[in-house]
Amino acid sequence: MSEDKKITKEQVKHLAWLARIKITDSEESKYAEEMGEILKYFRKLDEVDTEGVEPTHHVVDVVNVMREDEPEIKPAENILKIVPAKKDRFIKAPRIV
Amino acid sequence: MVETTELKVKIGLEVHCQLTNLKSKLFCSCSSDYRQSPPNTHVCPVCMGTPGSLPVLNRKAVEDAILIALALNMQISNKTIFYRKNYFYPDMPKNFQISQYDRAGGIPIAKNGSKKLEVEKIVHISRLQIEEDPGKISYEGTIETSKSAFVDYNRAGIALVEIVTEPDINSPKEARIFLQKIRSIMEHLGVSSGELEGSMRCDANISIQGGTRVEVKNISSFKEVERALNFEITRQKNLLRTGHRIGQETRHWDEARRVTISLRVKEEEEDYRYFPEADLVPLSISEEEIERQKNSMPELPEGHMQRLMTQYDISRQNAMTLIDNKALAEFFEESAVNYSHPDLLGNWIVGDLLSYLYEMDIELKDAKLMPRDLVKMLELIDDGTISGKIGKELLKEMLISGKSPDEIINQKEMRRISDSEYLNQLTEEIFSSNPQAVKDAIKDPKAVRFLIGQLMKKTGGKADPQLANNLVNEKLKTSKT
Ligand SMILES: [Zn+2]
C-alpha cells in the first residue's frame, strides 16, 4: 500500500451515508484529510512481520463464557421509558425504503 | 435473441431457522416466546443495545448448532468467533447484528457439509452460522404511504442458524425439496419447528447461464420458495430473450402481489464492515463436546424412513413422504398401533389426507383430526358400513368439523344402503325410464355398467356395490324373457 493513498471525498460521503449522518461540503474535505492521516498512522502496523502468527480475535485469553437457557421475566417498562417516540406499545422509527 | 429454454439455472440458498426449542434469546434471558405477546414486552438492555449492556451466549444454542452441523455432515470448527454486521436499519436497535462471518478472519461454527436430495443429487453446504433475528417492522396502511415504521423488538435477539448452500440447486422444485429435507431434519432434531409462523425463512441467489447473480430476499416461508423462484427465473429469461442484460441486484419477494421487486440497496458486502464482536469471547468446541452431542443425536429422517418401512411394512415412497413432515409421520405411527393394515393407512395419509391439507392450506396440527378417528373411519370401510368413496368424503368432513366418523355418517346419512327391497324398487324405476339402455345392456354386457351407475347415482353412491350389481343383473335376466 502506498504512503500517499488518499481518502476521497466520495468515500467520506459514502461513509456518512452508511452512518446516516449529514455532513457539509467543507466537512467532507476536512474529514477526508483527517481520515487519511489516521489511516497513514495505522499503516505503520503493516511494517510488522506477522508471518505464522495466529490472528487475535479477542484481547483477553478467555473462551466459552455462556449462560444456561433460562428465561427471566423482566419489566420492559424501564426500557420503554427511554424510547423517544412510541405509538401504543410500538416503537416509532423513521420509515426507511 | 437468446434461446432460453435450455439455459442452466443455478440457485444457492441462505436458510434461516429459528431455534424454537430455546426458552430464552440468543444473548440475553428475555423469553423467546414472542408470538402471542404484546409488542416490546420481551426486551431488555442487552437486546435493546443500551450502553453498558453485555451479551452472554446461550449454551443451548451452541448445542443445537452442533447437532445441526452433525446432521448435515459438516466440519465443526474447534474455535469459532462472533462478528458484528453493521447497518443502520430500525429492525436492529443496536445498529448491528451479532452474526458470524467466513471472511476477514471470521470462523463460522461449521463448514463444508452436504445434503443428498435424490439418489444422484447432492447439495453442498458451505457454512453454518449462529446469529440473532432482527425485530419486526409494521406500517400504517402500506409501506409506501406510512409516515413511520412501527417496531416490535420482541423478536430481536431470537436465536437463528443460517445454512448457506453452494449454488448446486438447479430448479425451483429442487429448492423446495431441499428445504423440506432441512425442515424435516430440524424437526427430527427437535431444534426448530417449521409449523410456527416465520420460523423458517430464506433468501435465494439465482443466476441463469449468460446472466448475473440476482439475490431475492424476504421469502418468508418455505411454501413460498418455489413460487418466488419460478417468478424470478421467468423474469430473467424474458430479459435475456428480448436481448436485455441482467444486472446484479437485490430484489424483494412481494408475497401479496407474487412478484419480485428491485430494492435500491446501496449497501454492498464490504459496507457491513464486519469485525469481531469484542463483547463476546471466542467459543472453543472440544472433541468431547462434539462426541456428547453425537451420543444425544435423535433419530434422523433417513433412519426414521428405514424404521417405518421395516416396522410397518409400508412402501418406500410412502415412508419418504411421511418423514418429510415429522408431525405426519408421528400421526401415522399413532394411528398404526391401533390398526391392522398399516400399508392401507399409509396410503390414506400420504394420499387423501395430505392432499386435503394441501387444498385447505393448513398444517396437520391445525386440522381437527385424531388418530383414533382416522382408524375408526378405516374400520367402517373394512366392515362395509361405508364405501371407500364415501370414506373420502367422510375424511374431509372430519378434518373440517373435528367430529367423530360415527357422528358424521349418522348426521349425513352416509351409511351404506343394503336394503334390497328399497334398491329393487329404485332398479325398477331406472329400467322403466331407460328402455334404450336396457336393450343395449341385453345385447352388450358391458353396457350394464350404465344401469348400475344410475342406481349408485340415485343413492348418492351409498348403495352396496355388490348388491347393486346383483340386483341389476337379476332384473336384466327377467327383462330378456
Ligand atoms: Zn433481552
* Nearest-CA distance B23 → chain A (Å): 6
Which tens digit of pLDDT belongs to each residue from A31-88? Answer: 999 999 999 898 888 899 989 988 888 888 899 999 999 999 888 888 888 899 999 8
For residue A17, report the distance from its CA to the centre of ligand 1, in Å: 29
CA distance linking residue B215 with residue B48, whole number of Å: 29
Residue B417 has pLDDT above 80, yes or no: no
Contact A57 B282 (CB under 8 A): yes
Higher pLDDT, A70 or B265: A70
* Nearest-CA distance B260 → chain A (Å): 15
Contacts B147 to A, Cβ<8 Å? 95
- Whose cell is 387444498? That residue is B359
With contact defined as beta carbons under 8 Å apart, do B196 and B34 qualify?
Answer: no
Contacts A59 to B, Cβ<8 Å? 278
**pLDDT score at B335:** 94
**pLDDT score at A97:** 62
**Dihedral of the alpha carbons of B32, B34, B37, B40, in degrees to the nearest 10:** 90
Identity of the amino acid at B17: C
Tell me the pLDDT band of B54, cut-offs 50, 70 and 90: very high
Tell me the pLDDT band of B460, cut-offs 50, 70 and 90: confident
**pLDDT score at B154:** 96
Contacts B48 to A, Cβ<8 Å? 79
Residue B31 has pLDDT above 80, yes or no: yes
Which tens digit of pLDDT belongs to each residue from B154-175? Answer: 999 999 999 999 999 999 999 9
**pLDDT score at B5:** 66
Cα B300 to Cα B282, B287, B321, distances in angstroms: 30, 22, 14
Contact B29 A72 (CB under 8 A): yes
Share of chain B above pLDDT 90, in %: 52
Radius of gyration of chain B (CA): 29
For residue A5, report the distance from its CA to the centre of ligand 1, in Å: 43
**pLDDT score at B21:** 97
Q: Which residues of A touch B (CB under 8 A)?
A: 14, 17-20, 55, 57-60, 62-74, 76, 79-80, 82, 85, 87-97
Q: Identify the H or E element spanning B389.
A: helix B388-401
- Chain centroid to Cα A81, Å, comes to 26
For the segment B333-348, the average pLDDT, to the nearest whole number, is 92
When scoring A74, A80, A81 by the number of chain B Cβ atoms within 10 A, the one with the most, hence best to mutate, is: A74
Residue B290 has pLDDT above 90, yes or no: yes
Higher pLDDT, A30 or A3: A30
**pLDDT score at B134:** 95
Instruction: Give me the interface pTM, i.e. the ipTM.
Output: 0.88
Residue A2 has pLDDT above 50, yes or no: no
List the grid coordinates of B337. Answer: 398401533
Full DSSP string of B15-28: EEEE-TT-SB-SSS
For residue B48, report the distance from its CA to the centre of ligand 1, in Å: 7
* Nearest-CA distance A1 → chain B (Å): 18
Q: Which of A64, A72, A91 sits opposite B151 (nearest CB)?
A: A91
Tell me the pLDDT band of B37, cut-offs 50, 70 and 90: very high
Tell me the pLDDT band of A94, cut-offs 50, 70 and 90: confident
Phi, psi of A50 (to 5 degrees): -105, 15
Contact A93 B151 (CB under 8 A): yes
Contact A63 B57 (CB under 8 A): no
Cut 0.95: pTM above it = no
Which tens digit of pLDDT belongs to each residue from B70-124? Answer: 999 999 999 999 999 998 888 999 999 999 999 888 999 999 999 988 767 999 9
* Nearest-CA distance A11 → chain B (Å): 11
Q: Which domains does chain B have, with CATH numbers?
A: 9-293 (no CATH), 299-411 (no CATH), 420-480 (1.10.10.410)
CA distance linking residue B475 with residue A25, whole number of Å: 102
DSSP letter, residue B416:
-
With contact defined as beta carbons under 8 Å apart, do B17 and B182 qualify?
Answer: yes
List the grid coordinates of B321. Answer: 413422504
For the segment B222-248, the average pLDDT, to the nearest whole number, is 88
Instruction: Report chain B's mean pLDDT, rounded to a whole number.
Output: 89
CA distance linking residue B298 with residue B75, whole number of Å: 19
**pLDDT score at B270:** 80
**pLDDT score at B396:** 87
For residue B41, give the chain A residue with the closest CA.
Answer: A76
What are the residue ranges spanned by the domains of chain A? Answer: 1-49
Tell me the pLDDT band of B2, cut-offs 50, 70 and 90: low
Contact A69 B62 (CB under 8 A): no
- Is residue B438 exposed (0-12), middle (13-18) or buried (19+ Cβ within 10 Å)? buried
Contact A69 B23 (CB under 8 A): yes
Full DSSP string of A41-74: HHGGGGGS--TTPPPPS-SS-----EE-S-----
Contact A92 B56 (CB under 8 A): no
> Beta strand B110-116 with B96-99: parallel, antiparallel or unpaired?
unpaired
Residue B182 has pLDDT above 80, yes or no: yes
For residue B156, report the distance from its CA to the centre of ligand 1, in Å: 8
Tell me the pLDDT band of B478, cut-offs 50, 70 and 90: confident
For residue B148, report the distance from its CA to the centre of ligand 1, in Å: 24
Q: Residues of B267-279 as b/e, b for ≥16 C-beta within 10 angstroms?
A: eeeeebebbbbee
CA distance linking residue B386 with residue B464, whole number of Å: 8
Contact A58 B23 (CB under 8 A): no
Contact B88 A18 (CB under 8 A): yes
Q: Which of A18, A69, A73 sits opposite B22 (nearest CB)?
A: A69
Strand ranges for B256-413 from DSSP E: 259-262, 275-276, 283-284
Which tens digit of pLDDT belongs to each residue from B195-218? Answer: 888 899 999 999 998 778 899 988
- Whose cell is 452508511? That residue is A18
When scoring A50, A67, A69 by the number of chain B Cβ atoms within 10 A, the one with the most, hence best to mutate, is: A69
C-beta contacts of B116-125 below 8 A and 24+ residues apart = B117/B174, B117/B177, B117/B178, B117/B181, B118/B177, B121/B174, B122/B168, B123/B165, B123/B166, B123/B168, B123/B169, B123/B174, B123/B178, B124/B165, B124/B166, B124/B168, B125/B72, B125/B74, B125/B163, B125/B164, B125/B165, B125/B166
**pLDDT score at A35:** 92
**pLDDT score at B481:** 59
Domain A1-49, CATH among 2.60.120, 2.60.40, 1.10.20, 1.25.40: 1.10.20
With contact defined as beta carbons under 8 Å apart, do B184 and B228 qualify?
Answer: no
**pLDDT score at A4:** 59
**A vs B: CB pairs below 8 A:** 131
Contact A66 B59 (CB under 8 A): yes
Contact A66 B90 (CB under 8 A): no
For residue B280, give the chain A residue with the closest CA.
Answer: A65
For the segment B446-450, the average pLDDT, to the nearest whole number, is 85
**pLDDT score at B17:** 97
Tell me the pLDDT band of B57, cut-offs 50, 70 and 90: very high
With contact defined as beta carbons under 8 Å apart, do B114 and B123 qualify?
Answer: yes
When scoring A13, A54, A90 by the number of chain B Cβ atoms within 10 A, the one with the most, hence best to mutate, is: A90
